[in-house]
Amino acid sequence: MPALPRSAPETQALFLLLNDALPQTQCTRCGYPDCASYARAMANGQAPINQCPPGGQAGIERLAALTGQPVEPLNPEHGIEGPRHVAIIDEAWCIGCTLCIKACPTDAILGANKLMHTVIEPWCTGCELCIPVCPVDCIALENVTGTQTGWAAWSAEQAHTARERYTSRQQRLLREEAEHQRQLQAKAEHKLADLAAHTKSSDIATEVDRKRAIIEAALAKAKARQTGA
């Protein structure tokens, strides 16, 4: 007998439970951009429960208990269950490109442009997202749990920390993007206020009108994004 459709509050409640049951490594191996997106898809009946390699078989059993679905083996298309790893940067080879910093979902990599980077081990989830972006292959993975895999290699406390750090990073990125847009808007408004001084053309009037139309259109789009219109 197929399951009855859930109400919106029931779906939301299930989403919260499923998200709590995921390891919060934010590794994207499930096929979704983060753990919350995968939990949302499962709650909506849009994704099976066997796509999380970090959670392993124990994780699948947790998800099965919450959803009422049968326990299945981990789908190998999404990876295999294994021990927990942390990223290690060979600082002698690091060129300071910051690509790994941008890729890390929990801000576990410390460094700056043209300066060597290092991994803050307690914050590393072993997501592996820093590996493919490194142009000099100076990042390796170190097994830190031996033969322990899945939830035996990861704790609820570590998952909580990872989720908090991921959420904090997402909020920081939104603030930085908003500040960037404000700076662009201020620059555009400054130019708009004195277009003649920024225009070099034999037909200044026509060129000023053209630039004004472009800048005003850009400002209108920027303001629409800020208001959510």
Residue 60: CATH number of its domain: 1.10.15.40
Average pLDDT over the chain reads 89
Compute the distance between CA of residue 219 and CA of residue 229 in angstroms, rounded to an integer. Answer: 13
Amino acid, single-letter form, for residue 98: T
What's the pLDDT band for 217 if we cut at 50, 70, 90?
confident
What's the pLDDT band for 178 if we cut at 50, 70, 90?
confident
- Of 54, 78, 102, the position where a domain reaches its end is 78
**Residue 171, domain member (yes or no):** no
Q: Which domain holds residue 47?
A: 8-78
For the chain, the C-alpha Rg in angstroms (whole number) is 24
What's the pLDDT band for 21 if we cut at 50, 70, 90?
very high
**pTM for the whole structure:** 0.81
What's the domain count of the chain? 3
**Whether 65 and 93 share a structural domain:** no
Q: pLDDT over 70 for what percent of the chain?
A: 85
**Residue 36, domain member (yes or no):** yes
- Of 31, 53, 78, the position where a domain reaches its end is 78
**Residue 93, domain member (yes or no):** yes
